[in-house]
Chains A and B, each alone.
Chain A
């Protein structure tokens, strides 16, 4: 019986129906004759197939003096191979309606292609060519290197990107690979040449330890049959080095504030945090629930306070970037300049509150219900399915990791969230890194008792590469 008020709407909130069962799609494992692993996921009704080759080496595995080599190497794979120059390769892939791409991040290097299923064979041929036979032409390497150097200039000028980089510079001790951007800083990028990229390639690529992941409607398609002649005779590489666990150290012993000065800035980009966690931690699911409550949901503690109550920001969030090594933990928001101090104080108060007492049952339920409920929505199409499997490979997680996700999340209790917060959050020993108008905010910050305040007055002259220690790059 409906309860209609004022002749307009129904007051009674509907109750949910019965959930339709959902399971993360099963995948089969196969090996090519050289040991290369194939993970094959058949997704009926998904004619746009996603295929990726995952290499468990990334920027974190570089020697410090070669910072940026892996990212550049990955970008250069498509810039010339034994049988195709760069233009011929991109045109060949475009004719298939395929997007062929290669990139590297901290943890891994991947090369992939998204293509309609009926053209998977020729697309895999191009993918194999790109990964097996790159030539790193000197002219293209030089151009890509210059593009990276120019991108560094753009990053310094963009407050959001400057904040991310300044935060990493601040929380990681010298010698930690994560201290600088994955794409490298000018002093190392400038030295990268064809030989450096070839060396990065040789060190990184051992066919026997690569994984090919293919997801989509594979009816009538023999993925191993397609892959074996393309990749199966690729000899294992003894020159490839194993990926050691990354060694990172914190540069933060006590809380302090660092302002990267931008005169007249109307907003302050705020990053508050410290070293975080690597992916393979025993309390992973408790940490996920904890960070969702803190700064993941729209009605998270941070967003509710800073946006919906105070109006300081368009959005406040917090997360752990869990890499093969301990990536950063940060609470983030961009706030109007005159709200900088109250926003920081509110953020720290919320972090402290999470350490003081357990989250409420309502908060816990909201976070668990979201993470469990949204799970099927994440995997509507092949791309994210393949992406998640890349994650399993890169972090050496068990095959049933995704099947176990929802029950594990359901099992997280308030006591687990409290334990995770106490183990992994330290608001009293956080770096507060800001990009904003120091002339407006330094005084109030000093008075706020957050700790020592350091102001970084970088030059902003055109063409300058940034902080004094980086070499200026005049094009």
Chain B
């Protein structure tokens, strides 16, 4: 089976904005996706969570768009949209009926050029309150809710910008000031720090004409400060362990490892390994812990790719009632060790590759996913064509590769183990 190839063109405006266009007239939809090369890794101590808060502020209006009007206009045009912030980048995207493409481009340009015209203390305060509630809803008011923050802190050293979570801390969110927002915008929200991808039912020449018309007048920022060297030793150096008492009914064991940086072929190998280890009901961890030995309620293992020094591979097993936590942890470690010693079988490898192939096919059939990947590969690797080559890289992974990379990465001195235990709780007093 062949994955359809994404055919695209790739040019920059004079102000540095990289514009990538891929036509596809199958459905009357078009996706717009803009990646800014700024993420939580650009945050300084005392100002964690700022990149994400700023993303919220980007929806609060600009010179010609009112508060909340960006979203109102997109939805009234029959479109969908959102923005996300992560460690390496912030992206903003719209999927529109194709005859509404120009509106989406105009909206993105208006805020890239003139956000500061509408930036106000009131809007900043409002979105600060919203983001604090997002933090509560996503993390603070959830069982096991602190897991991601703790794993990041364990895998990355204190001084590394991946040490803290993208959502930030309540104290730092409270400290975010209007002047910080102005400075952040002027520094990072420049056309030469952005990639615009447009995919779908569009005309390439028309898209470029619109891009020039709407974005062409926005000045570049020649003084974007480089982040510096984020390299890390490939191994943490010692096992990191923590036990947390939480309002949870079942114990859960989390593990995390420092992994090769996103873009390195060794990370592709870990993706295959993750599929074999925990990618579904035929996977090793599911079969052994959930099905055969019945010591876990559920298992997971996956890799998050980051370009700044090291990625993170993380997973967990929820412990079934009456089972010793130590046994679940030991079994997890046994399987993660075994895959680094014995090559996986031909059948396991073939099945994993078949599933990854189908997954790629599924993802690339959507214009919004294609646009996001083009922008991602351009931003992180200066190579948008990776969208066409990633599957080939996964399919080229061998059993020996998996054994070697797992042996190098999934080792005790490179892991964090985080265990959640049900807190002692007395029954509440009646009434």
Contacts and interface: CB of A to CB of B under 8 A. Distances in A.
Interface of A: 2, 4-11, 13-14, 16-22, 44-48, 78, 86-87, 90-91, 94-99, 114-116, 118, 143, 146-147, 150-151, 153-154, 156-160, 261-263, 265-267, 269, 297-299, 304, 307-314, 334-336, 365-366, 369-370, 372-377, 380-381, 455, 457-464, 473-475
B418 to A, nearest CB: 18
B358 interface: yes
5 contacts: A87-B282, A116-B357, A150-B250, A160-B142, A308-B130
A336 B132 contact: yes
Contact of A14 (B102, B219, B297, B347): B102
A461 B99 contact: no
B237 interface: no
Contacts of A299: 68, 71-72, 75
B28 A308 contact: no
A248 B247 CA distance: 34
B331 to A, nearest CB: 16
Contact of A335 (B128, B133, B431): B133
B354 A118 contact: no
Contacts of A97: 354-355, 357-358
B136 A267 contact: yes
Interface stretch (B6-14, B305-313, B403-411, B420-428): B420-428
A9 B77 contact: no
B219 A334 contact: no
With a 10 A CB-CB cut-off, give which of B72, B95, B282 has the most chain A CB atoms.
Answer: B282
Contacts of B106: 10, 13-14
Interface in B336-381: 347, 350-352, 354-355, 357-358, 361-362, 365-367
A10 B99 contact: no
B26 interface: yes
B134 interface: yes
A365 B287 CA distance: 53
Nearest to B82: A298
A45 B26 contact: yes
Interface string B1-28: 1001000000000000000000000111
Nearest to A22: B28
Interface in B120-136: 125-134, 136
Nearest to A268: B141
A86 B291 CA distance: 10
Contact of B247 (A114, A160, A460): A460
A157 B309 CA distance: 37
B365 A48 contact: yes
Max count, chain A CB within 10 A of own CB: residue among B214, B350, B358: B358
B222 interface: no
A94 B103 contact: no
A375 B27 CA distance: 12
Interface stretch (B109-117, B146-154, B156-164, B254-262): B109-117
A373 B78 CA distance: 4
B297 A150 contact: yes
Nearest to B134: A314
B91 to A, nearest CB: 18
Interface string B65-81: 00110011101111110
A17 B207 CA distance: 13
Interface residues of B, number: 95
B345 to A, nearest CB: 11
A358 B300 CA distance: 50
Contacts of A114: 358, 362
Most A Cβ at <10 Å: residue of B106, B128, B429: B106
Across the A-B interface, give the 9 residue pairs with the lowest CB-CB distance, nearest first: A373-B78, A475-B321, A311-B129, A462-B422, A97-B354, A457-B428, A17-B99, A153-B249, A94-B351
Contacts of B358: 48, 97-99, 114-116
Nearest to B358: A97
Contacts of A267: 133, 136-137, 140-141
Given A11-B63, A311-B130, A459-B427, 12 more contacts: A2-B213, A94-B355, A153-B250, A156-B249, A157-B249, A267-B136, A267-B137, A298-B75, A311-B126, A334-B133, A373-B79, A373-B97
Interface in B160-211: 201
A78 B352 CA distance: 19
Q: Which of A10, A143, A160 has most chain B Cβ within 10 Å?
A: A10
B247 to A, nearest CB: 6
A147 B299 CA distance: 12
B304 interface: no
Contacts of B132: 336
B77 A16 contact: yes
Contact of A146 (B99, B114, B320, B426): B320
A159 B138 CA distance: 11
Interface of B: 1, 4, 26-29, 63-64, 67-68, 71-73, 75-80, 95, 97-103, 105-106, 109-110, 113-114, 125-134, 136-138, 140-143, 201, 213-214, 217-219, 247-250, 280-282, 287, 291, 294, 297, 318, 320-323, 347, 350-352, 354-355, 357-358, 361-362, 365-367, 422-431
Nearest to A18: B99
A344 to B, nearest CB: 15
A20 B64 contact: no
B425 A461 contact: yes
Given A9-B63, A17-B102, A94 B142 contact: no
B82 to A, nearest CB: 10
A290 to B, nearest CB: 16
B427 A150 contact: no
B97 A19 contact: yes
Nearest to A140: B291
A90 B249 contact: no
A40 to B, nearest CB: 19
A473 B321 CA distance: 9
B208 to A, nearest CB: 16
Contacts of A372: 78
Given A9-B218, A16-B99, A313-B133, A157 B247 contact: yes
A129 to B, nearest CB: 16
Contacts of A269: 141
A87 B110 CA distance: 55
A374 B80 CA distance: 8
Contacts of A150: 250, 297, 318, 320-321
Nearest to B286: A90
B126 to A, nearest CB: 5
Contacts of B26: 44-45
A265 B141 contact: yes
Q: Looking at A366, A377, A475, which has the most chain B CB atoms within 10 Å of its CB?
A: A377
Nearest to A464: B249
Given A45-B26, A153-B249, A308-B67, A20 B287 contact: no
Contacts of A157: 143, 247-249
Contacts of A153: 249-250, 321
Given A90-B280, A150-B321, A20 B99 contact: yes
B97 A376 contact: yes
B280 to A, nearest CB: 7
B113 A266 contact: no
A312 B217 CA distance: 38
B141 A334 contact: yes
A64 to B, nearest CB: 26
Nearest to B217: A8
A13 B4 CA distance: 36
Contact of B354 (A19, A96, A365, A459): A96
A311 to B, nearest CB: 3
A353 B71 CA distance: 24
B29 A376 contact: yes
A10 B75 contact: no
Contacts of B72: 297-299, 366
